[in-house]
Chain A
């Protein structure tokens, strides 16, 4: 049962990711990416990371991808067709290089042996993560808020016309 679910979601994730990068119009890509995010969220649930799964849906599918859609609408991009892909050597180099990289990753992964505590089940629910975030990782948590603030300011400045 578990492996059936895993293979289903894995296939979903990989297929939609491929569709993301190969579809002609950015809007389609964004929509496929939403599906990828759903697949990933399901995998997170299978890994007992409920909180991460939830924010994956909320932040990625709900916020970031909507932002992408808005920008695409704003720029009103034409349908691009064949020339939306790179020409020249980088196109022909990219695929073999990626395949080599994959093989390498496979080799590396096959050598990993994690002696995890399989019996100890950690539940990534909101309570336990929230407890950790507000005790042990409080400083990074506060700092990341400054990063967000900087991003907000930066975005505002960048998108404003004729900024003097």
Chain B
């Protein structure tokens, strides 16, 4: 049987890849995709914890996280579209009106 730590390390690697994606990409769609990777990394650790501690609460959690992720993607993409309408681009370099 594969030990818990293997799954957790896999989840950590996935999470780091997500973070890296967020930090280095300029395209807002790519950032949203990286966010999905991070969420899935967390889901993986939840499921493996659930498996190794012998109850289903973790999987219930994953269920809720997926729901929130769906909602988040929907709203995020809607925001992206309105930004694109205004700026004609989804490049984050153009999204800096919060600057001094």
Complex contact flag A–B (Cβ < 8 Å): yes
Q: A94-B23, A114-B53, A124-B59 are in contact. Are A52 and B47 (CB under 8 A)?
A: yes
Q: When the two chains form the complex, which single residue of B10, B21, B48, B72 contacts A13, counting CB atoms closer than 8 Å? A: B10
CA gap between A117 and B51 in the complex, in Å: 9
Per-position 1/0 for A23-47, Cβ under 8 A of B:
0001001100100110010011011
| A116 contacts B54, C-beta separation under 8 Å | yes
B46 to chain A: closest CB distance in Å?
A: 9
| A122 contacts B14, C-beta separation under 8 Å | no
Q: When the two chains form the complex, which single residue of A17, A30, A59 contacts B70, counting CB atoms closer than 8 Å? A: A59
| A51 contacts B2, C-beta separation under 8 Å | no
| A94 contacts B25, C-beta separation under 8 Å | no
Per-position 1/0 for B1-30, Cβ under 8 A of A:
110111111101111111111011111011
Which residue of chain B is the closest to A119 with respect to CB atoms? B54
| B59 contacts A43, C-beta separation under 8 Å | no
A-B pair count, CB < 8 Å, reads: 231
A residues in contact with B21, CB < 8 Å: 20-21
Q: When the two chains form the complex, which single residue of B6, B7, B15, B56 contacts A132, counting CB atoms closer than 8 Å? A: B56
Q: Which of A2, A13, A56 has most B Cβ within 10 Å?
A: A13
CA gap between A140 and B72 in the complex, in Å: 17
Q: A64-B69, A148-B67 are in contact. Are A37 and B40 (CB under 8 A)?
A: yes
| A114 contacts B50, C-beta separation under 8 Å | no
| A116 contacts B53, C-beta separation under 8 Å | yes
Per-position 1/0 for A121-140, Cβ under 8 A of B:
11010001100110001001
Q: List 5 A-B contacts (CB under 8 A).
A: A46-B2, A56-B66, A72-B29, A84-B26, A97-B23
B residues at A contact (CB < 8 Å): 1-2, 4-10, 12-21, 23-27, 29-30, 32-34, 36-37, 40, 43-44, 47-57, 59-60, 62-64, 66-75, 77-82, 84-85, 90
